Structure 1
């Protein structure tokens, strides 16, 4: 059985993984959902100083403090950035890295690089005017709904997402990843792609081309960008299958 460390995307806390974690435990796995500093029940730990390195250190410290080994480190969305940074520090503690609707970051990248310059400038202005210079609020539902990211979320789930979301420390978006050495040799690489990301991969985007090749193993999930909310049991099934299939191929 696997030990899953579940790291949520922007604006979310460990609460977002509740149903998926429960489903994984029912299958006999260990599931450890994470809340990063500055978010959810750890919101009071955030401030202008909270940045990408803060989150990288928090993930690494959690795993080392509890002496976790043979772990499957799961990154949803934004968490791809700190998980990439943490993976390079975990050595043989790491058995598998899973990116859920996300991808590893290269050294020198930041979250703002993933959006058009005009949109990035709008976010900076929003944070300056409305976020005390360091907090990025979650976009309203009509903005989120411009893509298929909300697919699978019923009205109650959408309300829960917006009600429990907390502002993201903006330093985690602006700080560039200094070290992207990645996981050590022998670590299993898994990608779980939802609707929008599946379309990008299938379109053959050059910057994502490597994710369709070994050592990556790709699983597609027919839902929107928040599968832990829209399809929690199905996400657990895929995570379980990824760990089981890998175990079967190495025995």
Structure 2
């Protein structure tokens, strides 16, 4: 069965970051739509909150069959809301997850210095070796060249699903192992409070941007169904 993958990037990055993965999905016979969220990438400068990004995803999926929503990092938040509002075949979270209602991206780390826009990270492996693991010089240069500031309102607005649909979900764990995630869930970590028991967790040991560090393996895992 041919599937349509709607690929949603995390902060600072446009749909271009999925180019390698999208090409591999198409080579395998599937469709791939890489979304550039409002206010980021070639759409930089436009105002956008989290709900605007949910609408971006719903629009990208409109009229498509067998849709698989894929959310990386911050992209998991708008993907979670979109998946609750429109019928999709399944959802895949890449180093992200189905966070509880009320969660904000701001809750994931120290607050930005400005409320205008969140500037890109410096992309320096020496400062962040775990998250940037696996990225070669070419990938790092691309990230430095093409990253743009991310709309502040989108990281400050709390998640609100606004729907009741609950499609099957997979979590591709890169910077945490499946075993670490299982331990955090067992300990009652709030970030996993909305994760159903039947969520499939697959490991892809690499840094936080596997679409650049491991595009082949990531594409294979996106296409994998079931347990």
Is TM-score (shorter-chain normalized) higher than 0.5?
A: yes
- Which residue number in structure 1 is paired with residue 85 of structure 2? 89
Match of 1:152 among 109, 124, 134: 134
Report if aligned partners of 1:8, 1:76 keep a CA contact under 8 Å in 2: yes
2:198 paired with 1:215: yes
| CA displacement, residues 61-113 of structure 1 (integer Å, 9 cap, x when unaligned) | 2222xx1122000000001111111111103xx00000000011211111112
Report if aligned partners of 1:95, 1:188 keep a CA contact under 8 Å in 2: yes
| Structure 1 segments of 4+ aligned residues over 6 angstroms from their partners | 210-213
2:59 paired with 1:76: no
CA distance change for structure 1 residues 83 and 75 in 2, over 3 Å: closer, same or farther? same
CA distance change for structure 1 residues 114 and 194 in 2, over 3 Å: closer, same or farther? same
Gaps of 5+ in 1: 128-132
TM-score, L = length of structure 2:
0.89
- Which residue number in structure 2 is paired with residue 14 of structure 1? 15
Match of 2:105 among 96, 99, 111: 111
Report if aligned partners of 2:177, 2:203 keep a CA contact under 8 Å in 1: no
Higher helix share: 1
2:101 paired with 1:101: no
- Which residue number in structure 2 is paired with residue 196 of structure 1? 176
CA distance change for structure 1 residues 71 and 144 in 2, over 3 Å: closer, same or farther? farther
| SS of equivalent residue, structure 2 residue 93 | strand
Quick one: distance in 2 between partners of 1:179 and 1:212? 14
Larger Rg: 1
- Which residue number in structure 2 is paired with residue 130 of structure 1? none
Matches within 5 A, 1:133-172: 133-142=115-124, 145-172=127-154
Quick one: distance in 1 between partners of 2:74 and 2:66? 23
Report if aligned partners of 1:191, 1:211 keep a CA contact under 8 Å in 2: no
CA distance change for structure 1 residues 108 and 54 in 2, over 3 Å: closer, same or farther? same
| SS of equivalent residue, structure 2 residue 92 | strand
Report if aligned partners of 2:4, 2:32 keep a CA contact under 8 Å in 1: yes
Report if aligned partners of 2:178, 2:201 keep a CA contact under 8 Å in 1: no
CA RMSD across the alignment:
2.2
Higher mean displacement: 35-44 or 193-202: 193-202
